[in-house]
Structure 1
């Protein structure tokens, strides 16, 4: 069993413990980022968001890594809305191996819809002025950390997909996957992907245009 798999499987008891402690509204998902295209390796209480083993990550790049508050490999208490309108409060922590390479993500998703409704009810009786929040700017180290994580994701995605007889439509679908996951939001991603695929930047942009036009 490879090291990364052993490390990630070591978090399964923690996931079960967290889910049991906080009840059925608490979902825990463990991602294996050495297999980005089907990164979900374990879920508990997955009725909260419907995450299934074998699916890919969704919010990691677009929401977590892009957030101003993402520091020290984690982002806590960010919210999203499900397709049926429920509010989900989430936290994501990255998992690294002994060589400090990012190999996974530990995600906790809590359905706070009932709490939100209760808070709205209480706010009608106990209005309060919220203290203004002061956000700290990302440091150069924070920016470099995010860039390194996305670089690893790009390399792993392409490593898992590229083969000598790769057809044009397969490359287009690979670009589509990375576009959907927010990879192209990162500066320099086009150049890196073009180099790893052995194609020009112009070709990558033409694939992106083709995807958007469809």
Structure 2
């Protein structure tokens, strides 16, 4: 690494990478292992390491994050690797990156900063959150007796608001009815879509399509949907 006529010595390069490794480890905490490798040696021994408990390694170790001591090829010895997945021998899930600092020539060197973040605990936490947020069914659809009756009443109210019989509804009318039902949380009831589709004399696909169109427009009826002479029964 040349800077005009100036050259960064191996000692200076190591000092910089070591400071960087220490700072990153302090910043991201005990789940983040950082280290400096001597990549000029095919066995790439560790020159310094912080939070080595993540992989169980220490200074002088030639083991990699995968728990092997294989010699790397020329590509592996000189190429940066960013945000790659790895699993340690003990089963920890790791995000790993390696950044090289290379100086060619007689007094050249090849040092590398390694960063290994153990996110195993986050995986477990995510599973717990998913379990906590999981629910079997909507409360009101389970608690209220005669949900079909309640849905029917809601639909009758929406039809009255439109003021047309079902066989005279245009697409815009049906979109308005679906929007009103959605505002009343009617689609949180079990089997609400087949119930509404049967009453409006359209397919279930059409109901889902209308709900999608409303969602894309923030719950409002798209302006381009003008009245149609015949209902959509697809």
Q: TM-score scaled by structure 2? A: 0.43
The higher radius of gyration belongs to 2
Q: TM-score scaled by structure 1? A: 0.47
Higher relative contact order (CA 8 A, sep 6+): 1
